[in-house]
Amino acid sequence: MLKLGILISGRGSNMLVIIEKIERGNIPAEIACVISDKEDAKGLVKAREHNICAFFLDPRGLSRKDYDKLIVYELKKRDVELVLLAGFMRIISPYFVDEYKNRIMNIHPSLLPAFPGLHGQRQALEYGVKITGATVHFVDYGCDTGPIILQKPVPVLDDDTEETLSERILKEEHKIYPLAVKLYAEGRLEVIGKRVKIL
Ligand code: GAR
């Protein structure tokens, strides 16, 4: 069974839908651990409610690479094969990317390569696009630049606020993230350069 490690910083709603799909037998995987860089992340509590080992790793005082070494140590100790960033609000170091090449996924609230980085939904509103969306991708050395696995478009409505748009995008995130993990767990993702083929 594929072993997952999930990294979060906040409420962990993407993490939760993946936990629930695994529990229902929809994804052939198990969660080895959930790690947060924020002590008060609500997602830690939710993961523990599902009897998943979930803990805080303190980044304070550590360089990016030293913190990532700590995370990778915890992941490898538990034989984690695929790492899921689920609202993990830190940039991953090249060290981490090399240790888990094409084995780290991220969910982002825009149709990449549009609006990378923070506040993808706010950026879409400020730009005035009519369509934005959600993207699941593998993580490479750049910020939200890795090979794209799945995307889902979401319309931007005239009366949208950052909150209403985020909510509409989140619904799609909750569909495509578990699906991408399922495809990976079934061995159906092939990465060829920047392109991901679904077998
Ligand atoms: C999600 O909307 C995710 O796409 C976004 O943070 C939210 C986390 O929600 N991630 C990023 O913006 C990454 N740059 P969640 O904790 O409820 O899954």
Residue closest via CA to ligand 1's atom 17 equals 13
Two domains, one topology: 1-100 and 106-199 = yes
Gap from CA of 112 to ligand 1 centroid (Å): 14
The pLDDT tens digits for 113-141 are: 999 999 999 999 999 999 999 999 999 99
User: What was the pLDDT predicted at 119?
Assistant: 97
Specify the pTM. 0.97
The pLDDT tens digits for 60-96 are: 999 999 999 999 999 999 999 999 999 999 999 999 9
Of 131, 105, 114, nearest to 189 (Cα)? 105
Phi, then psi, of 99 in degrees rounded to 5: -70, -30
Of 50, 34, 18, nearest to 136 (Cα)? 18
Q: How confident is the model at residue 42 (pLDDT cuts 50, 70, 90)?
A: very high
CATH number for the domain formed by residue range(s) 106-199: 3.40.50.170
Q: How confident is the model at residue 59 (pLDDT cuts 50, 70, 90)?
A: very high
Residue 174 identity:
H
* Mean pLDDT (the chain, rounded): 98
Distances (CA, A) of 29 to 12, 20, 132, 160: 18, 11, 30, 37
CATH number for the domain formed by residue range(s) 1-100: 3.40.50.170
| CA–CA separation, 20 and 118 (whole Å) | 27
Enumerate the domain spans of the chain.
1-100, 106-199
Show which residues are catalytic: 108
Atom of ligand 1 nearest to the CA of 120: 12
Gap from CA of 15 to ligand 1 centroid (Å): 10
